[in-house]
């Protein structure tokens, strides 16, 4: 058995992709393959059984064409919600895969705060459903890079991973788009949960900056980027990130999240 472990590590050192595969298999041992929501046994190594996954409420028309807020009613034409009428976002639009639901929120919280990294695969797969929106066809066709919303180093040291990066990594595999760390967080901010939108915007002012990788990407392909996060609530965080990306030279920014908060 010792020889097998040595051989596995030797292969992992040679190939980072195989290393990640080995780590994912190790996580399967730590987190037995049972559905995160209903606890039924799973056979495919995922985190959700098929009935639970299908039952999660998707974002479907009618919804606001700017922020993705769902609307309960009969509206046949595209519309912008009252909240967005007086707001100016630096991004073109935000598209979430799912509407707010306690089950999805539980998965995201367990992923972020419970450090259940195995959930990234399913959350990323759910987020990828957003690309069925025809408005994102040009981003796929023109190979816009995926840019995760960054964490400050202090929070990263505490959490040990960036949830947006993990979701982004799954999206990259499923869409074929490149993932680039184009942004960095240069100022620590307080948690946004209990702040109003105005307070959130002030809290985030000056918190982000471009990275060298981001500036190099502008030189190669400035057409646009797909900004990725886990949840869209007021749009303050992605709005500030989009502002930095636009000022640096990217012509367009669209936002993808797993859930609309």
Q: Has residue 14 got a pLDDT over 60? A: no
- 26 pLDDT exceeds 70? no
The pLDDT, as a whole number, for residue 21 is: 59
- Name the residue with higher pLDDT: 72 or 216: 216
Mean pLDDT of 42-51: 86
229: nearest Cα among 161, 174, 163? 163
- Considering 8-22, 23-37, 184-198, the range whose residues carry the highest mean pLDDT is 184-198
Which residues make Cβ contacts (< 8 Å) with residue 210, sequence separation at least 6? 182, 183, 184, 244, 245, 248
53 Cβ contact list (under 8 Å, min separation 6): 122, 126
Residue 119 has pLDDT above 60, yes or no: yes
pLDDT for 29: 64
For 225-236, the pLDDT digits (tens) are 999 999 999 999
Q: Is residue 100 within 8 Å of residue 143, measured between CB atoms?
A: no
pLDDT of residue 9: 43
State residue 13's pLDDT score: 47
In angstroms, the CA 207 to CA 186 distance is: 5
Rounded distance between C-alpha atoms, residue 216 and residue 181, angstroms: 11
Contact 187, 207 (CB under 8 A): yes
Output the pLDDT for position 155. Answer: 87
pLDDT of 93 over the 70 cut: yes
Res. 64: pLDDT tops 80:
yes
More confident residue, 1 or 257: 257
Crossing angle of helices 102-112/163-175, nearest 10°?
A: 110
Structural domains of the chain, ranges and CATH numbers in brackets: 59-260 (3.40.50)
* Share of residues in the chain with pLDDT > 90 (%): 67
Q: Mean pLDDT over residues 248-261, rounded?
A: 97
At 178 the pLDDT is: 98
Quote the mean pLDDT of the chain: 88
Residue 6 has a pLDDT of: 46
For residue 123, the model assigns a pLDDT of 97
Please state, in angstroms and rounded to a whole number, the distance separating the CA atoms of residues 130 and 59.
9
Give the Cα-Cα-Cα angle 81, 86, 91 (nearest 5 degrees). 80
């Amino acid at each position: 058995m010792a020889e097998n472990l040595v051989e596995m590590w030797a292969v992992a050192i040679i190939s980072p992709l195989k290393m990640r595969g080995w780590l994912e298999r190790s996580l399967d041992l730590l987190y037995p393959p049972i559905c995160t929501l209903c606890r039924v046994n799973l056979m495919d190594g995922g985190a959700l059984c098929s009935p639970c996954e299908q039952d999660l409420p998707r974002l479907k028309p009618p919804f606001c064409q700017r922020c993705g807020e769902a609307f309960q009613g009969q509206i046949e034409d595209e519309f912008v919600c009252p909240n967005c009428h007086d707001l100016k976002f630096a991004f073109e639009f935000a598209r979430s895969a799912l509407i707010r639901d306690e089950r999805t929120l539980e998965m995201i919280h367990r992923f972020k705060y419970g450090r259940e990294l195995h959930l990234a695969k399913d959350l990323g797969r759910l987020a990828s459903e957003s690309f069925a929106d025809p408005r994102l066809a040009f981003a796929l066709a023109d190979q816009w890079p995926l840019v995760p919303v960054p964490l400050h180093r202090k929070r990263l040291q505490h959490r040990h991973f960036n949830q947006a990066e993990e979701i982004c990594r799954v999206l990259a595999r499923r869409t074929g788009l490149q993932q680039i760390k184009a942004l960095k967080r240069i100022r620590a901010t307080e948690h946004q949960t209990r702040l109003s939108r105005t307070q959130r915007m002030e809290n985030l002012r000056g918190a982000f900056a471009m990275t060298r990788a981001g500036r190099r990407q502008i030189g190669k392909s400035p057409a646009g980027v797909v900004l990725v996060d886990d949840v869209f609530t007021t749009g303050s965080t992605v709005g500030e990130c989009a502002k930095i990306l636009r000022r640096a030279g990217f012509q367009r920014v669209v936002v993808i999240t797993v859930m609309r908060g």
